[in-house]
């Protein structure tokens, strides 16, 4: 007599016949139903499982299509395969990872996770600063054009690009709007043929690293720096050289004799928030020209300067040598996945040629909605409101630190969504994180962002928190330190 198992617990959204098929499939794989065993007739089996005959028939049809059972007029329904253990290897062999994958995994920085009463960890979205109404209207307008074929796909008048599908650079309409915005607001020197729309800065970093770096080449980065940039560059096998940062940003005197790429955040150094003076920008460009390097300028916080007008981008000083990377994930919302890369036309042509190996082309609907947001003035209005809110929360954080943690030394930030805080001499970063955790508060330690030794510091993300939550979090840490 064949032993029929009980139905397995349902999975979310699972229909009944799929649940029956999963139960019988699992029994075959575990050897409960052995190869060659004859199953009871449909009515009997359906009754044993507590389902209707029609549900059972649908489940058996699925298993027969997968090869788990066979059916004949006289032989009935029989198990057609041995248990899964018959095919299982004796021991789990390691995955045959490539050298690139091994290096990429080694460069990851993982967060400890957890839920806290107040969470100052960096990198969190700021949902209440998201212009949901304007974005929804722009998307709705473009969705209404979908059936008319006017979604801004490839224009065959652009030479050198794919003429059979979406433009690898993104819709021309969006690139025109973005070029106008960058030239007017960021002091860039951009034409649409120098622009490629991306899914974000990380995509651009990975694409540029794959195109320009390999084992035997050298890339330089600020230190400390954005870990995603370091990981993308290091995954290629190139040698990474850290260049120290002080209170004015990267030190040009410490740049290496030669490099293929240099990654910098001159407008708002990550994570220290320092702004690079004009003289240093000129020195970095002169270095790049002398050794033939390309500068990757990450303008990640450009639209979030909340004390004064942001400094012009370095790209405007040397468009032949500086590649500008930007994203709207912080100033709009991560869900938009809208970013851009500005580069000399010859670099853009190379990237357009290699892009189909990864994601073919950027999303058209989001890109065209972005064009509407930029052209209509909705983005500028949104930024004015967002900057006021961010400034208020920034000042609230500084006031709370001065009141409850006077020994902690914050660097007032002119841009971005976090504050860099130097710790008092008696505290290590581990001490500070532990102290905060006891108060049900989370911080980001700064040490994992640096290769070279630096004084202990922490990062406090604040823009996603209400002023009340900011005060409460700092008060909690101050009381825990007593």
- The rounded distance, in Å, linking the Cα atoms of 305 and 332 is 14
Confidence at residue 162, expressed as pLDDT on a 0 to 100 scale: 47
Confidence at residue 164, expressed as pLDDT on a 0 to 100 scale: 39
- Mean pLDDT, rounded, for 21-26: 93
Confidence at residue 127, expressed as pLDDT on a 0 to 100 scale: 74
Helix (H) or strand (E) holding 172, with range, is: helix 172-185
Instruction: Read off the pLDDT band of 154 (50, 70, 90).
Output: very low
Does residue 330 surpass a pLDDT of 50? yes
- Mean pLDDT, rounded, for 262-285: 96
- Mean pLDDT, rounded, for 224-246: 96
- Mean pLDDT, rounded, for 335-362: 89
Confidence at residue 167, expressed as pLDDT on a 0 to 100 scale: 85
Helix (H, G, I), strand (E, B) or coil at 461: strand
Mean of pLDDT over the chain: 89
Confidence at residue 1, expressed as pLDDT on a 0 to 100 scale: 60
pLDDT digit string, tens, across residues 78-100: 998 877 765 555 567 788 999 99
Does residue 378 surpass a pLDDT of 50? yes
Cα dihedral sign for 196, 200, 203, 207?
positive
Confidence at residue 239, expressed as pLDDT on a 0 to 100 scale: 97
pLDDT digit string, tens, across residues 52-84: 999 999 999 999 999 999 988 777 899 988 777
Copy the structure tokens of residue 399. 């006031």
Does residue 228 surpass a pLDDT of 60? yes
- The domains located in the chain, with CATH, are 16-86 (1.10.10.10), 103-123+381-481 (3.90.1150.10), 154-378 (3.40.640.10)
Does residue 9 surpass a pLDDT of 50? yes
* pTM recorded for the entire structure: 0.83
Q: In terms of pLDDT, which residue wins out, 11 or 93?
A: 11
Confidence at residue 160, expressed as pLDDT on a 0 to 100 scale: 46
- Mean pLDDT, rounded, for 395-416: 96
DSSP 289-345: HHHTPEEEEE-TTGGG--SSPPPPPGGGG-TTTEEEEEESTTTT-GGG--EEEE--H
Does residue 163 surpass a pLDDT of 50? no
Q: Per the omega criterion (within 30 degrees of 0), is the bond before 224 cis?
A: yes
pLDDT digit string, tens, across residues 165-221: 458 999 999 999 999 999 999 999 999 999 999 988 999 999 999 999 999 999 999
Does residue 155 surpass a pLDDT of 50? no
Q: What percent of the chain has pLDDT over 90?
A: 66
Q: Please, which residues have CB within 8 angstroms of residue 433's CB and are 6 or more apart in sequence?
A: 443, 445, 458
Confidence at residue 447, expressed as pLDDT on a 0 to 100 scale: 95
Give the closest residue to 269 by CA, choosing from 300, 290, 239.
300
Q: Work out the angle at residue 423's Cα, subtended by the Cα atoms of residues 434 and 389, and round it to the nearest 5 degrees.
A: 90
Q: In terms of pLDDT, which residue wins out, 394 or 139?
A: 394
Confidence at residue 334, expressed as pLDDT on a 0 to 100 scale: 60
Strands 339-342 and 322-327: antiparallel
Sheet with 409-411, strands from edge to edge, namely 409-411, 418-422, 457-461, 444-445
Does residue 151 surpass a pLDDT of 60? no
What are the start-end ranges of the E strands in 164-267? 195-198, 218-223, 239-246, 249-250, 261-264
Confidence at residue 165, expressed as pLDDT on a 0 to 100 scale: 45
Copy the structure tokens of residue 105. 């995994």
- Mean pLDDT, rounded, for 110-129: 85
């Amino acid at each position: 007599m064949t032993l029929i198992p009980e139905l397995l617990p349902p999975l979310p959204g699972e229909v009944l016949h799929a649940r029956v098929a999963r139960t019988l499939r699992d029994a075959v794989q575990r050897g409960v139903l052995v190869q060659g065993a004859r199953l009871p007739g449909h009515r009997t089996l359906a009754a044993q499982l507590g389902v209707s005959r029609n549900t059972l028939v649908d489940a058996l049809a699925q298993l027969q299509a997968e090869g788990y059972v066979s059916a004949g007029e006289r032989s009935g329904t029989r198990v057609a395969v041995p248990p899964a253990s018959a095919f299982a290897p004796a021991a789990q062999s390691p995955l045959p990872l490539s050298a690139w994958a091994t290096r990429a995994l080694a460069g990851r920085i993982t967060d400890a996770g957890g839920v806290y009463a107040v969470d100052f960890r960096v990198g969190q979205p700021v949902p209440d600063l998201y212009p949901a109404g304007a974005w929804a209207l722009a998307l709705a307008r473009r969705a209404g054009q979908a059936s008319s074929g006017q979604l801004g796909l490839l224009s065959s008048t652009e030479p050198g690009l794919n003429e059979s599908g979406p433009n690898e650079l993104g819709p021309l309409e969006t690139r025109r709007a973005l070029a106008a915005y960058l030239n007017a607001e960021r002091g860039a020197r951009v034409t649409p043929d120098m622009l490629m729309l991306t899914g974000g800065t990380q995509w651009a970093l990975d694409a540029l690293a794959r195109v320009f770096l390999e084992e035997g080449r050298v890339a330089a980065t600020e230190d400390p720096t954005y870990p995603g940039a370091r990981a993308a560059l290091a995954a290629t096998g190139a040698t990474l050289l850290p260049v120290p940062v002080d209170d004015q940003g990267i030190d040009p005197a410490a740049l290496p004799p030669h490099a293929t790429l240099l990654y910098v955040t001159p407008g708002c150094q990550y994570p220290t928030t320092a702004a690079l003076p004009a003289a240093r920008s000129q020195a970095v460009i002169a270095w790049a020209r002398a050794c033939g390097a390309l500068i990757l300028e990450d303008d990640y916080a450009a639209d979030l300067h909340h004390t004064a007008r942001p400094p012009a981008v370095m790209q405007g000083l040397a468009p032949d040598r500086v590649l500008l990377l930007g994203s709207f994930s912080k100033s709009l919302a991560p869900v938009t996945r809208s970013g851009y890369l500005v580069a000399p036309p010859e670099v853009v042509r190379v990237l357009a040629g290699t892009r189909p190996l990864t994601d073919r082309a950027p999303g058209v609907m989001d890109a065209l909605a972005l064009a509407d947001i930029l052209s209509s003035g909705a983005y500028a209005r949104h930024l004015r409101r967002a900057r006021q809110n961010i400034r208020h929360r920034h000042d609230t954080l500084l006031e709370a630190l001065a009141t409850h943690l006077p020994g902690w030394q914050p660097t007032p930030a002119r841009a971005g969504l976090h504050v860099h805080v130097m710790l008092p001499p008696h505290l290590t970063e581990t001490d500070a994180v532990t102290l905060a955790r006891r108060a049900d508060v989370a911080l980001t330690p700064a040490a994992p962002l640096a290769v070279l030794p630096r004084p202990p510091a922490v990062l406090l993300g604040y823009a996603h928190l209400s002023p009340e939550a900011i005060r409460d979090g700092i008060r909690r840490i101050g009381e825990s330190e007593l």
